[in-house]
Amino acid sequence: MSISLSNISKSYKKVKAVQDISFDVNPGELFGLIGPDGAGKTTIFRILTTLLIADEGRATIAGFDVVKDYKAIRNSVGYMPGRFSLYQDLTVEENLTFFATIFGTTIEENYDLIEDIYVQIEPFKNRRAGKLSGGMKQKLALSCALIHKPKVLFLDEPTTGVDPVSRKEFWEMLKRLQKKGITILVSTPYMDEAALCDRIALIQGGEILEIDTPDAIVSEFPKTIYNVGADNMYKLIQSLQQYEHVYSVFPFGEFVHYTDKRDSFEMADLQSYLEKEGLADISIETAKPNIEDAFMELAR
Ligand SMILES: Nc1ncnc2c1ncn2[C@@H]1O[C@H](COP(=O)(O)OP(=O)(O)OP(=O)(O)O)[C@@H](O)[C@H]1O
């Protein structure tokens, strides 16, 4: 099933949450909405899941209009909201039974779709959802969003607040669901997860900066990136920002991603400048750009 948005805008009083957004998700695609907090991702999800009406524009799921045909859409989509999707006072099993019941189905009927995920939390089926770890809550919420066998899955920041191992497992699960023919729209503020999607839309301040495959977005990065390291990170960032030829400086793990304004950049020039600034253990080497670099460049 495909998803299509054309010229969607939505404001909350004076706040323009999304502005003139258009994109299509192909049937069976794993599509990512990538952007920082407040970019407008949740607003887009709420419009597509028929919980919020856009001020302008049109959106369809498998050809069904999100306003006119909301009933048809609600039966065929699964939605895992960022927060508060579970009933904290109900047990694991009660939550799942509840979601199955409201869609007129049973856990047994669609168990094959959730089995991979649910077996991991089944030993805790009598535990209240409020007492689960972040990773377990996430698995239960995903099971609840899948229990009526949706054709399209909407996942709003499913890995926020989840440990790295569970995050990795979660993305492996998404790939398996995709192989079963489910179209997936997922949002994340984590740029490393963007690379796992078929295509991504980079979004900021309610506007789309770019839509393409992760590889294409990275390959369009216009500059050479240097990984710069030194003994004092704080001082290194300050010094790089003050360098007369600086184009951009972003901290990246234990290094700083630096780009230079000049075409004829000499590492030795930068090295001697940083030495004069009193830094030691300086290292400068070229690095491959990643989605985060591309995002920062497009957001400039
Ligand atoms: N009910 C509301 N009333 C007023 N402003 C709102 C409301 N909901 C969202 N906003 C504002 O609209 C903008 C977009 O919010 P939205 O929740 O869609 O972004 P997001 O990318 O999902 O970010 P987050 O991860 O922080 O939820 C933000 O500036 C937010 O403060």
Name the closest-CA residue to atom 11, ligand 1.
17
Residues 186 and 293 occupy one common structural domain? no
pLDDT the model gives residue 163? 81
Count the residues in the chain.
Answer: 300
pLDDT tens digits, one per residue of 240-298: 999 999 999 999 888 999 999 988 888 999 999 999 999 999 999 999 999 989 998 88
Quote the ligand 1 centre to 42 CA distance (angstroms). 7
Which residues have C-beta atoms less than 6 Å from ligand 1?
12, 15, 17, 35, 37-43, 157
Residues 10 and 62 occupy one common structural domain? yes
Residues 100 and 175 occupy one common structural domain? yes
For residue 119, being part of any structural domain is answered with yes
Burial of residue 280, with CB atoms counted within 10 A of its CB: 0-12 exposed, 13-18 middle, 19 or more buried: exposed
Residues 258 and 156 occupy one common structural domain? no
Helix spans in the chain (H): 41-48, 70-76, 92-102, 111-118, 134-146, 164-179, 191-194, 214-219, 233-242, 267-276, 291-299
Q: Which atom of ligand 1 approaches the CA of 189 most closely?
A: 25
Residues 208 and 237 occupy one common structural domain? no
Q: For the chain, what is the domain count?
A: 2
Quote the ligand 1 centre to 47 CA distance (angstroms). 13
Q: How many Cβ atoms from other residues are within 10 Å of residue 294's Cβ?
A: 26
For residue 220, being part of any structural domain is answered with no
For residue 6, which phi and psi values (nearest 5 degrees)?
A: -125, 120
The predicted model gives 14-41 an average pLDDT of 94
Nearest to 300 by CA among 246, 255, 256: 246
Quote the ligand 1 centre to 13 CA distance (angstroms). 12
pLDDT tens digits, one per residue of 117-160: 889 889 999 999 999 888 888 889 989 989 988 999 999 998 88
| Residue 94 clears pLDDT 90, i.e. is over it | yes
Tell me the CATH number at 167: 3.40.50.300
For residue 219, being part of any structural domain is answered with no
Residues 73 and 187 occupy one common structural domain? yes
Mean pLDDT of the chain, nearest integer? 91
Residues 188 and 238 occupy one common structural domain? no
Quote the ligand 1 centre to 142 CA distance (angstroms). 23
Q: Which atom of ligand 1 approaches the CA of 160 most closely?
A: 25
Whether this prediction's pTM lies above 0.90 is answered by: no
Name the closest-CA residue to atom 16, ligand 1.
40
pLDDT the model gives residue 165? 82
30 touches 197 (CB < 8 A) = yes
The domain boundary, picked from 214, 240, 261, lies at: 214
What's at 40, amino acid-wise?
G
Share of the chain above pLDDT 90, in %: 64
For residue 263, being part of any structural domain is answered with yes
What residues make up the domain containing 16?
3-214
For residue 234, being part of any structural domain is answered with yes
Residues 26 and 161 occupy one common structural domain? yes
The domain boundary, picked from 214, 239, 270, lies at: 214
Residues 189 and 230 occupy one common structural domain? no
Under DSSP, is residue 225 helix (H, G, I), strand (E, B) or coil? strand
- The pair of structure tokens assigned to 1 is 């099933």
Name the residue of 8, 15, 185, 204 to mutate for ligand 1: max ligand atoms within 8 A of Cβ: 15
Residues 248 and 209 occupy one common structural domain? no
Name the closest-CA residue to atom 18, ligand 1.
40
| Residue 83 clears pLDDT 80, i.e. is over it | no
Name the residue of 8, 9, 11, 12 to mutate for ligand 1: max ligand atoms within 8 A of Cβ: 12
Quote the ligand 1 centre to 40 CA distance (angstroms). 6
Residues 191 and 158 occupy one common structural domain? yes
Residues 147 and 272 occupy one common structural domain? no
The domain boundary, picked from 185, 214, 243, lies at: 214
Quote the ligand 1 centre to 157 CA distance (angstroms). 13
Name the closest-CA residue to atom 14, ligand 1.
40
Tell me the CATH number at 254: 3.30.70.100
